[in-house]
Structure 1
Amino acid sequence: MAFRLGWKNSRSQRHLLQTVSGGVPLFPWRTAGSCLDPEMKAYLEDNTEVTSSGSLTPEIQLRLLTPRCKFWWERADLWPYSDPYWAIYWPGGQALSRYLLDNPDVVRGRSVLDLGSGCGATAIAAKMSGASEILANDIDPLAGMAITLNCKLNGLNPFPILTKNILNTQPHKFDLIVLGDMFYDEDLANTLHLWLEKYFWTHGTRILIGDPGRPQFSGHSIQHQLHRLEEYTLPEPTRRDNNGLTTSAVWDFHP
């Protein structure tokens, strides 16, 4: 099913996406949400629940997969789209979002790339904390729709969303890159590490990583280039849904 996201038509946002995507806009510039596929939107709304409980950021509302949703229990192969990882508020993203809300000076007036945005919570936290420009990046178009709906839940105009793998490109400079829960696979961890190093040495951009200490992260060589900024105790519902993980941390990347 073809799906395209639109967003607020402004000169700065147009330039932002054109620059990241190599000069060619990937989607039409329309009012955000105006071209959301109605069937897919209805399916997403019918099979997620709006919630703000059980996470580190009760001030952010999100559409998530919860025990009250059909596909929390239903066979996964009956879900008609790609895996709905965007419908889970992962612990690394929770830590990052909490950190930005508690430390708004980190993002206020700055441009932010939320890499692997998922449900968009960290990008939303950045917007709430005063970021001047935000680009949410995720490879799944359905994640893009979820981010748009989650922005509206929180009274925000949806920001640009790029549904494209950018790890084989070098986007223009952002003041800050944030990424949570992306070190879950060894090959991806290696690719990310190289990309982040190159981006840092090209642009000098600050890079913050959120992770609860998965083996692919805690055992990776990137650990030698990290400084832990904050560690959070995860709420009981998050611990229960993540195999007993108890904490999540935010790390500053310094190659």
Structure 2
Amino acid sequence: MTPEIKLHLITPLCELWTGNADNIPFQDPFWAFYWPGGQAVARYILDNPQLMQGRRVLDVGSGSGACAIAAMKSGALNVTANDIDPVAATAIKMNAALNAVNIDVCKKNLVGESCDKWNCILLGDMVYDAEFTAQLLKWLRAFRCQRRLILLGDPGRQALRDIEDNCLTKVATYCLPKSACLENRGFTQACVWRFM
């Protein structure tokens, strides 16, 4: 969905795609796939660069760094890609270099922290189970009165559908490319939500 962004990923053309666990040097390489929620957030940012201009951006669960790269390409003042996986941190640095952008990388778990230095938070594919989603929402609700821009991308996982309050406003819906549908258990679209 974002041909403007180049990424090092595991694809069907890569040996790691079909390799067994014994032959893969990474444990749970979530960073090596371009998940649909992240694609949607990155596309939304690239289509609406005015949202990023002058912002200090935190991309939580950054994975490949795609949303962070999109924010930097769209005029963010500075961007921090946050992922607790040390291999993801390396992938983010490689992908940032591939796209000729400068991104800070933080490996600390920031969920639950105050995060005062950022006025924009991006989350792609972070509502993958009910327990973590509840923790995430509690953290994000603390920012409601601080006028931060918070964007969340997801293809419609159950944990997102179970959110009971009206804290999310849908701002965009994108149809996923056929390859992304096959890779993501049949999801056909991904949405971007603004946390209000």
State the TM bucket, normalised to the shorter chain.
over 0.9
Residue number in structure 2 paired with 1:234: 176
Q: Do structure 1's residue 103 and structure 2's residue 48 form an aligned pair? A: yes
Q: Distance in 1 between matches of 2:65 and 2:89?
A: 8
Q: Deviations over 1:21-41 (max 9, x none)?
A: xxxxxxxxxxxxxxxxxxxxx
Deviation for aligned residue 1:77: 4.7
RMSD: 1.2
Q: Distance in 1 between matches of 2:125 and 2:149?
A: 18
Deviation for aligned residue 1:219: 2.0
* TM-score calculated relative to the size of structure 1: 0.74
Secondary structure of the corresponding residue to residue 83 of structure 1:
coil
* TM-score calculated relative to the size of structure 2: 0.95
Residue number in structure 1 paired with 2:116: 172
Q: Deviations over 1:154-208 (max 9, x none)?
A: 1223x1100011113212142211101000011110100000111333x321211
Which of 137, 142, 154 is 2:87 aligned to? 142
Where structure 1 has 5 or more consecutive residues not aligned to the other structure, the ranges are 1-55
Query: Could you tell me whether the CA contact under 8 Å between 1:200 and 1:206 is conserved in 2?
Result: no
Q: Report 1 or 2 for greater relative contact order, CA contacts < 8 Å, sequence distance ≥ 6.
A: 2
Correspondence 1:8-47 to 2 at 5 A: none
Secondary structure of the corresponding residue to residue 121 of structure 2:
strand
Q: Distance in 2 between matches of 1:186 and 1:217?
A: 8
Residue number in structure 2 paired with 1:211: 154
Stretch moving more, 165-174 or 130-139: 165-174
Deviation for aligned residue 1:100: 0.4
Q: Distance in 2 between matches of 1:74 and 1:109?
A: 43
Q: Do structure 1's residue 248 and structure 2's residue 193 form an aligned pair? A: no
Taking only the aligned residue pairs, the percentage that are identical comes to: 46
Where structure 2 has 5 or more consecutive residues not aligned to the other structure, the ranges are none
Q: Distance in 1 between matches of 2:185 and 2:48?
A: 29
> Which structure has the bigger radius of gyration?
1
